[in-house]
Structure 1
Amino acid sequence: MTAVVPDEFAAALTGTATTLELSDGRTSPLHPDRWRDRAAGADRWLLDRCHGPTLDLGCGPGRLVEALLVRGLTVLGVDKSDHAIAQCHDRAVPVRRADIFTSLPAEGRWDHVLLADGNIGIGGDPVALLRRAAALVRAGGNVLVEIAPRPSGLWRGAARSRDHRGALGQWFAWAEVGADAIVAVARLAGLAVLEQGGAAGRAFVRLGPARAR
């Protein structure tokens, strides 16, 4: 019997949910239209820092994978969502259906790993996630992360999607890392913030080994 893999962002990937309800009572916006569109605007901060083979963890519909392919780079998206995989196939971009904590192609040989669109929250443990990302890149490679633009510290808990009718999805482990917390979180993962920036209300960091300052 095949196990059913939870698809926590199914409602967002199909365009019906635009909000995450967090277990502390707050809500956090989702941006499904941006995910399904072509890469543009602030996405270029991430794209312009990719110069070699790139792995996009939690790639969703694959807009960043597509943009890097157009730039002539080797790139692979990874996602466990059936909806994400189908939308990547519609774009004709390379994607692997997998949990990002399971074995992935070319481990330790990627130049860059992407964690865009709040994916630093996957699994509810940003330190463990960054350690995993660091293990996927080669020596001298880096991890490009989108963080919360506001100084909101580190939050860990659970989240669920809320669709436009108010229907709620299942709870799943989630986290948020604010711009004021990323240095400490990265340090615990053996990484350092090498560059920080942002545009259009979004914030990003480039991380590398703590010794590579």
Structure 2
Amino acid sequence: MADAFGRMVEDYRKDRLAERSVYRRDDGHVSEAHLEGYFADYDDWSELDRWMVERVSGSVLDLGCGVGRTALWAQERGHATVGIDRSPGAIRVVRERGVERALIGDLGDPPLRTGFDTLLVIGQQLGLGRSRAALEGTLSELARVTEPGGKLVADLSDPTGPDPRAESEYLDRHAVERGLAYRRFRVEYDGCAGPWIDLLMASPDALAEVVAGTPWTAEEILETDSSAYGVVLNHGG
């Protein structure tokens, strides 16, 4: 698997970017990857990101941890923290930045059997896949590595939310069912193209329907002025 993301963040950290890095959508739309956000300090995070990390308690598994922004924050506050990302390059950066436990692995199949008190999934990665079944499967798998009474803190995007019309037209073509749609994109950097990634978006109502068939129950939600929102799920055991 070409690790375009890993090359991109490693080069950015070492101040040696070869070219502008981009995200390419499956309809050809290209947007610049604003890499400074991956390395931003807490004070520069969005309200939603701060809301999510402030709900962390106990031991933490940061899934899709990227360059370790939130894993490092949790570790520095005394939480036993493990970061997981499928990008080897990103994991090298995480370790260099001081996260003590960082593993290469897939969010939907964590390479651990230990139960954690908090699972943190930031960047709308909980929706990896393009179907209700994929999201149900991810939630069921993540319950396996969560202590009874533990929590999952994540953000998602509502496909029925206040997006520009051009975005709405794209999502209409990628609708799965009521309240569910997906984006497909990949990272491109310095002649390297990463794998296509499907991210499922779910309205709060659609998410509640999916969660009802899993070991989780919804505890808290934070809506924002955009289509993004945060959610806290409890693992009933």
- Same fold per TM (> 0.5)? yes
Partners of 2:153 and 2:231 within 8 A in 1: yes
| CA displacement at 1:67 relative to structure 2 | 0.5
| CA displacement at 1:111 relative to structure 2 | 0.3
Residue 73 of structure 1 is matched in structure 2 by: 79
Residue 159 of structure 1 is matched in structure 2 by: 185
Helix, strand or coil at the partner of 1:52:
coil
| CA displacement at 1:174 relative to structure 2 | 1.1
Residue 117 of structure 2 is matched in structure 1 by: 111
Percent of aligned pairs with the same amino acid: 22
| CA displacement at 1:193 relative to structure 2 | 1.6
Give the structure with higher Rg (CA). 2
Q: How does 1:1-213 map to 2 (within 5 A)?
A: 5-7=1-3, 9-10=5-6, 13=9, 16-21=20-25, 23=26, 32-39=35-42, 40-42=45-47, 43-93=49-99, 94-102=101-109, 104-107=111-114, 109-124=115-130, 125-149=134-158, 151=160, 153-156=179-182, 158-162=184-188, 169-180=193-204, 181-198=206-223, 201=226, 202-209=228-235
Residues in 2 aligned to 1:31 and 1:121: alpha-carbon distance in whole angstroms: 22
| CA displacement at 1:130 relative to structure 2 | 1.6
**Structure 2: gaps (5+ residues):** 13-19, 162-178
**Structure 1: gaps (5+ residues):** none
Change beyond 3 A, Cα 1:87–1:65:
same
Residues in 1 aligned to 2:136 and 2:33: alpha-carbon distance in whole angstroms: 22
Residues in 2 aligned to 1:54 and 1:133: alpha-carbon distance in whole angstroms: 13
Residues in 2 aligned to 1:170 and 1:72: alpha-carbon distance in whole angstroms: 34
Deviations 1:177-197 (A, max 9, x none): 233332122223342221001
| CA displacement at 1:100 relative to structure 2 | 3.4
| CA displacement at 1:207 relative to structure 2 | 0.9
Which amino acid counterpart does residue 181 of structure 2 have in structure 1? W
Partners of 2:67 and 2:93 within 8 A in 1: yes
Structure having the higher helix fraction is: 2
Partners of 1:160 and 1:168 within 8 A in 2: no
For the aligned residues, what is the CA RMSD? Answer: 3.1
Which amino acid counterpart does residue 77 of structure 1 have in structure 2? G
